[in-house]
Chain A
Amino acid sequence: MPSTGIIELYVFLLAGFVGYQVITRVPPLLHTPLMSATNAISGISLVGSLVAAGADRNMVSTILGVIAVASATINVVGGFLITDRMLKMFKRHDQPDPGPKVG
């Protein structure tokens, strides 16, 4: 395995460890937003998709790349929006109501 592969393995393990430490401290209260948030964040595979779609290597790569760009964008846009929509709903009882809102 080339040395960059080893460095990547370090990055993966350390990130996984940090992730584990941070996420164990997320209260069950927010586990659904957590899942939609990590989903949105892993939409970062968009960066790989963008290269596949835009590198103009061959027809197959471009077509698959475009579908991948669309899929990843769905997760990025939809994921961050829905996470925010959920987090907006969590209020303490002494927190003033932000105004009349139906739904």
Chain B
Amino acid sequence: MNPRELFVQVTYLTASVLFIVGLRSLTRPDQARRGMNQAALGMLLAICGTLAHHEILRYDWIIVGLVVGTAIGYPLGMFVPMTAMPQRIAISHLFGALAATLVGVAEYYTLVRGPGVGHAEMAALGFEVLFGSLTITGSFMATGKLQGFLPGRPITYPGQNAVNLLLFAVALGLFGYLIFVPGQQAAFYTMIGVAFCVGLFMVMPIGGADMPVVISLLNSYAGLASAATGFAIGNNVLIIAGALDGASGFLLSILMSKAMNRSFANVLFGAFGTPATSSGRSSVGLAVRSITAEDVALQLGYAGSVIVVPGYGMAVAQAQHQVRELAEQIEKRGGEVKYAIHPVAGRMPGHMNVLLAEANIPYDRLYDMDEINPQFDQADVALVIGANDVVNPAARSDRASPIYGMPILNVDRARHVIVLKRSMSPGFAGIENELFYDPKTSMLFGDAKASLSRLVSEVKSL
């Protein structure tokens, strides 16, 4: 190993270690920033190391790529609002997969015209390009649905699952064929085309509420495609980073599926967002109790402990700051305020926590489902803002309900429940919520932001 090659390898090894140190720091919120700065330093080292690589002969095009990438990446990092985080992450899966796929194609193109492609090499390249391509179109669909330039509701047609499985089987078949006959260029490019279709059709039938699983799954695919790039070009730091990314995405998609009480297969082939036909118990003949803002303010103002349950409706109404103001008023009067965060409260893992942290709500007041559920028994008031399915007791008791078995926040165990809601329309899954008909539940109808502002001033004037 000559000194130059040694330098490159040392930077890669350092980068690998710093990446793991960086991810480890995310286990502690107070150390996370420093850890991520170390990871960024590792990245810088690896890039410098690569620029010294003996295969790199000219730098003009590299500089063009780096400048263009920085020009697009900087605004994507600095100016995207936190509410848009899911689509921001989805599009970064797209870029990651695009980079992996293009490197794979370039490698294949060059090898086929030169020394030829070995079988093992083809396996790595094929995997890279296959998963890369389907992640590109899949992420594009996810971004479009989340950003709203594609219809967010599931698009379904008869025989959809059969078509999707068939396409995937064709892509895998071509991949298998290529491992035996790596020189078949037509098969290689057809595989890419089919994989594009697989990604497109795979995400098409998936609705907005299932996006946390899809984003996590695409994260995992993008990571695996990166790792395969590492195999193809014999680069360990790529394998390590790809494996970390893949493991993280895989783990998050399992957590998200569990939180929704669904299997991967069910999310991918179930088209959940369509209104359920058999929605369990009927609410016919039951009445809801409507309440005025003054009465809610009274209850909150004299409560010893309040648990706020924010849902996606709160984020849509951009009411985080009003929630914090209300909490400050309650705390000023001696009450204690905690926040109960369901794992799928937002549109991606952990999204709700970020939205609340952005509104300056201290993170030690944010509680996971498992931490907070035993505490509802002691709570005077549970304040549900724009959440629906994640507080539906039918998930515990009604076997006929489509959400039966889904872990929920035990809001109905609190002494009083106040639900802020726009109207009585059912939630995302189209399921009736019997919490709303519970005798201890009061409903405050109206826009969440307006209702909360009203409550803030009412509590202030108590």
Show the binding face of A for B, using Cβ within 8 Å: 1-2, 4-5, 8, 11-13, 15-20, 22-58, 60-62, 64-93, 95, 97
Contacts and interface: CB of A to CB of B under 8 A. Distances in A.
B424 interface: no
Contacts of A36: 85, 88-89, 92
B29 A65 contact: no
B252 A35 contact: yes
B120 A75 contact: no
Contacts of B56: 50-51, 54-55
Interface in B19-43: 19-20, 22-24, 26-27, 29-30, 32-33, 36-37, 39-40, 43
Given A11-B239, A23-B251, A53 B61 contact: yes
B241 A41 contact: yes
Nearest to A91: B362
A70 B357 contact: no
Given A34-B23, A42-B242, A51 B233 contact: yes
B95 A74 contact: yes
A44 B226 contact: yes
A68 B246 CA distance: 20
A60 B110 CA distance: 8
Task: Identify whether the interface residues of A are mostly helix, strand, loop, or mixed.
Answer: helix
Given A29-B353, A43-B43, A45-B229, A75 B251 contact: no
Contact of B100 (A29, A37, A45): A45
29 contacts: A8-B231, A11-B240, A12-B243, A16-B244, A19-B248, A23-B244, A28-B349, A28-B353, A32-B351, A35-B89, A35-B248, A38-B23, A38-B219, A39-B92, A41-B22, A48-B103, A48-B235, A49-B102, A51-B50, A52-B106, A54-B59, A56-B58, A70-B72, A71-B69, A71-B99, A76-B47, A76-B69, A81-B74, A92-B364
Interface of B: 12, 15-16, 19-20, 22-24, 26-27, 29-30, 32-33, 36-37, 39-40, 43, 46-47, 49-51, 53, 55-59, 61-62, 64-66, 68-70, 72-74, 76-78, 80, 82, 85, 88-89, 92-93, 95-96, 98-100, 102-103, 105-107, 109-110, 113, 120, 215-216, 219, 222-223, 226-227, 229-231, 233-252, 255, 341, 343, 346, 348-351, 353-354, 357-358, 360, 362-366, 368
